[in-house]
Structure 1
Amino acid sequence: MTALTRLESKPAHEHAISSAGSMKQIYEQLLLNDDAMQRRALAQRFLATQLQQAADLPEDMPGDLSALQNFVEQHCIDVARQYADYLQQRKEGGPRQFFSSKAHALFFLQAVAPTKLVDGAWLSGLLRHWRDPRFEGLICTYLEELGEGNPAQNHVVIYRKLLAEHGLQDSGVIADQYYLQGAVQLALGECSDGFLPEVIGYNLGYEVLPLHLLISAYELSELGIDPYYFTLHVTIDNASTGHAHKAVQSVLQLLPIEGDREAFLRRVALGYRLNDLGQGSRAIIESFDLYGEVLSMLERKRPFGQHMHSDYCRFEGKTVNQWLSASEQLPGFLAALENKGWIKRHQDPQASRFWQLIDGDGAAMFGVFSPYEKQLLHDWIGGNWRPEHSPASVRRGTGASAEPLVPGNDPDVASLQAALEGLAAHEQMPVLIPWLSAHRHSHPAGLMATRRFIELKSSLR
């Protein structure tokens, strides 16, 4: 899923985030805490704060319901036109607009991971309404985010694989502010009955195709990074029959008949604005500073490396251990390596002795740096240098889909199967639903539960 962003070329305005407590702690409590009452109480408090902040933001959603579908369709038309302009600029030799290097792209993938790893969570609390046809569009959207139980289509599974492929699993390097949108999604899912209009509005704002999704997918592929997670959303979020269309229909179907429709729609509009809290994708992309990221990475390494080097090599009179003894010396250390010729900026990194120590057969520092950390160093050393051949664009093949395998020795699968044994079909649903939560659905038992839920949902109606 992808948040609706405005169509100007500059990044969306960055809105203030409440500093009360760690956003990561809130995110993890909402995702991992086993105490449902504690999760619910935290979610309610957190949402109240975020909704207050959202109330101060500009209102973009049209107030006239009859204009809602046209609003979404026109947005998609505008995005398509702007993307066509982008492609023409690239065809004429224009540079990438988002990612200056592969390290830049990996920085983005890691920064948005807290949101992508709970994709669709704001709809998870609606599963209990599976018998009510008014909720069909929202529940269908959520089940599609879960890949309908197929790990090859489950959005969280896909994103986890993408992170693992590029060594981006270390959540400790993600700035606290990047957990905000994921926490909002988890909180909405936890409190969906009490905040149904806000859930509907948030869903509407999130499911409309943004320009940045198309450009990101194009440039990731150019850099040799699998864009499938992003291209999947290009197709699934369409305004004709996809999630964007379902989002509009859900507003209309769940609108009260005799209740206070105006109050309901005000809350829908407020939920819509929750999408604009925190940094959006464009702002995150533009915040990247390669040299700053290199220094931050070295600072994280410094406490572990400051006593691990011999005194054999000295740079400008200091040993490596002495250079690593204080944070403020890191820029000078890099400069000293460059002055001594160990780092040759704006050349093929293979020509730098320092790079040879960390990459390749027999590298003395093999394994010290993760793939992402190595990419930071590679791109910083390379600077303006460009290889003769660009990396091959990545396009995932469309192999034949196979029936997902159920691991027979998985303890959670065995536990779920035991819990379902002997239950009538309608009795199985409340047992299955917890396994479709944001924390569980991407695990083998959750994937199995999703498939069974869909099967029973169709047969029990």
Structure 2
Amino acid sequence: MTALTPLQSQPATVHPVIHKGQVRQCYERLLQGSDDADKQAVAQTFLQQCIAKAEALPQEMPSDPMALQAWVEQQSAGVARQYADYLERRQNGGPREFFSGKAHALYFLQAVAPTKRVDGAWLYGVVKHWHDHRFEGLLCTYLEELGDGHPAQNHVVLYRKLLAEYDLSDAPDIDDDLYLQGAVQLALGYAGDEYLPEVIGYNLGYEQLPLHLLISAYELSELDIDPYYFTLHVTIDNASTGHAHKAVQALLQLMPMEADREAFWQRVTLGYRLNDLGRGSRAIIGSFDLDREVLDMLERKRPFGQHMHSDYCKFEGKTVNQWLSAPGQLEGFLTAMQNKGWIKRHEDPQNSRFWTLVDGAGAAMFGVFSPYEKQLLHDWIAGDWLDEGVKSGARRAPVAACAPATPMDDPDVQSLQQALQGRTPNEQMQVLMPWLCARCHSHPAGLLATRRFIELKSALR
């Protein structure tokens, strides 16, 4: 097993402009590999381009920083009113407004995964300022994103667990632009000293409680998908004592006293607008097309199944292997199966012979489709039949993850413990900090490092 021990710095290299279609490449470079000068250069190059785009976006924040707390509270109250209206519509028999079915919800979870897998990364750069009381609000927020080192509360651990439950961890390639927000967060984390005002502004925006988070949590539970990751953010991001409040306090602590406060504030507002780059959650939810997703999924699997079927069964004169022999035929194949009665749309999928080949013990195609792929097929076959059922089913109660204790035989845990032995508390802090990065903190050694970091921080102050 290869250890995750952070590597030594390497000399910086010059990077070209990051073009459209290369966002995922930038994301992977910032997430993986060593925390070196090369990664710093990538982060700064990427941020410069993103900030230039953010300048063209409308400004929503108040012009006076001292009016910020009242503005945040007004925003929060507005979201609460909109959510109350949503609940009233649902209680009066209205349908779900975000997710048409479980497949739609899983599509959303998969699409936002690049961002959720680096949750909190924009604040990684503040770790080195643990001794400066002005950074306490930002540092506290970051450590809480890391679950204070406890896997049952670490946001990335929770999201990975949610993805794994539906086998979404190794999802097919998704659009490049869905990596944009994750790349912004990683870049801010690695260029935090040079872009501190933008980090503060981004944090102000990201830690506000959005309406889509509340509705997503409500509807996920209706669809029997554990909403705990989302409900955790509902409580932790509140404007009274939570991350939204800490974000305002952090700005007031770190605003210059004598230097150009106006220039600093303008950069803060640019950082806030970085949240609006790329596709947001509502746009992702609205982009779901069940017919297209089913066809795309089947097309990805087609090359692996085109020689695997016998020739005794034909649909409209063509064998299954012939239907799968070339791209572009799958829509016709699905129609042919409907015409022959193998698929009965808008009925209980159990009435379709094709579904019984896919699902259940002893199914001839058992294991061919992942849980998400099966859900796509199920919801596509069911169609209107799903809408005829109960509009608001029993809601699933959020349940915190139960995680085992740190595995002491993990090689990275052992390596970290050895590295800490014989060092002073201040020296230990230097060893621990790289383990709190987005690449490492959700692993056993990173979780251990986070707990030890918090212990030492309290003792050394």
Give the aligned partner of residue 192 of structure 1: 192
Give the aligned partner of residue 71 of structure 2: 71
Tell me, yes or no, if the aligned pair for 2:441 and 2:447 is still in contact at 8 Å. yes
Distance 2:393 2:36 in 1: 47
Give the aligned partner of residue 136 of structure 1: 136
The residue correspondences of 1:220-369 to structure 2 (distance < 5 A) are 220-369=220-369
Aligned length: 442
Tell me, yes or no, if the aligned pair for 1:40 and 1:190 is still in contact at 8 Å. yes
Give the aligned partner of residue 427 of structure 1: 427
Distance 2:121 2:411 in 1: 25
The residue correspondences of 1:142-157 to structure 2 (distance < 5 A) are 142-157=142-157
User: Which range moved further: 317-326 or 274-283?
Assistant: 317-326
For structure 2, the residue ranges without an aligned partner over 5 or more in a row are 1-17
SS in 1 for 2:431: helix
Distance 1:327 1:350 in 2: 28
* Deviation of 1:449 (Å): 0.3
Distance 2:409 2:458 in 1: 29
Distance 1:36 1:450 in 2: 21
Deviation string 1:26-48 (CA, Å, 9 cap, x unpaired) is: 11110002261221111111111
* Deviation of 1:417 (Å): 0.1
SS in 2 for 1:327: coil
Instruction: Output the amino acid matched with 1:412.
Output: D
Deviation string 1:118-163 (CA, Å, 9 cap, x unpaired) is: 0000000110000000000000000000000110000000000000
Distance 1:367 1:346 in 2: 25
* Deviation of 1:393 (Å): 2.3
**TM-score of the superposition, structure 1-length normalised?**
0.94
Tell me, yes or no, if the aligned pair for 2:231 and 2:398 is still in contact at 8 Å. no
Deviation string 1:294-334 (CA, Å, 9 cap, x unpaired) is: 01100110111111111111111111111112221111011
SS in 1 for 2:385: coil
* Deviation of 1:77 (Å): 0.3
Give the aligned partner of residue 98 of structure 2: 98
1:174 matched to 2:200: no
Distance 2:112 2:257 in 1: 39
Tell me, yes or no, if the aligned pair for 1:204 and 1:244 is still in contact at 8 Å. yes
Instruction: Output the amino acid matched with 1:450.
Output: T
1:439 matched to 2:434: no
1:35–1:244: structure 2 CA closer, same or farther, 3 Å change rule?
closer
SS in 2 for 1:385: helix
Give the aligned partner of residue 43 of structure 2: 43
Give the aligned partner of residue 7 of structure 1: none
* Deviation of 1:392 (Å): 4.1
Instruction: Output the amino acid matched with 1:421.
Output: Q
1:394 matched to 2:396: yes
SS in 2 for 1:396: coil
User: Which range moved further: 18-27 or 131-140?
Assistant: 18-27
**TM-score of the superposition, structure 2-length normalised?**
0.94
Give the aligned partner of residue 110 of structure 1: 110
Distance 1:397 1:261 in 2: 45
* Deviation of 1:239 (Å): 0.4
User: Which range moved further: 429-438 or 26-35?
Assistant: 26-35
Structure 1 runs of 4+ off > 6 angstroms? none
Distance 1:72 1:53 in 2: 24
Deviation string 1:77-110 (CA, Å, 9 cap, x unpaired) is: 0000110011011000001000000000000000
For structure 1, the residue ranges without an aligned partner over 5 or more in a row are 1-17
Tell me, yes or no, if the aligned pair for 2:226 and 2:399 is still in contact at 8 Å. no
Give the aligned partner of residue 451 of structure 1: 451
Give the aligned partner of residue 87 of structure 1: 87
* Deviation of 1:391 (Å): 5.9
Tell me, yes or no, if the aligned pair for 1:224 and 1:391 is still in contact at 8 Å. no
* Deviation of 1:174 (Å): 2.0
Tell me, yes or no, if the aligned pair for 1:223 and 1:393 is still in contact at 8 Å. yes
Distance 2:153 2:52 in 1: 36
Deviation string 1:401-428 (CA, Å, 9 cap, x unpaired) is: 89x6221210000000000001111110
Instruction: Output the amino acid matched with 2:212.
Output: H
SS in 1 for 2:329: helix
1:349–1:211: structure 2 CA closer, same or farther, 3 Å change rule?
same
1:34–1:225: structure 2 CA closer, same or farther, 3 Å change rule?
same
Give the aligned partner of residue 418 of structure 1: 418
User: Which range moved further: 381-390 or 280-289?
Assistant: 381-390
Give the aligned partner of residue 9 of structure 2: none
Deviation string 1:241-264 (CA, Å, 9 cap, x unpaired) is: 100001011111101111111111
Distance 1:453 1:132 in 2: 15
Distance 2:77 2:163 in 1: 32
1:323–1:398: structure 2 CA closer, same or farther, 3 Å change rule?
closer
Q: Percent identity?
A: 71
Distance 2:400 2:251 in 1: 34
Tell me, yes or no, if the aligned pair for 2:105 and 2:220 is still in contact at 8 Å. yes
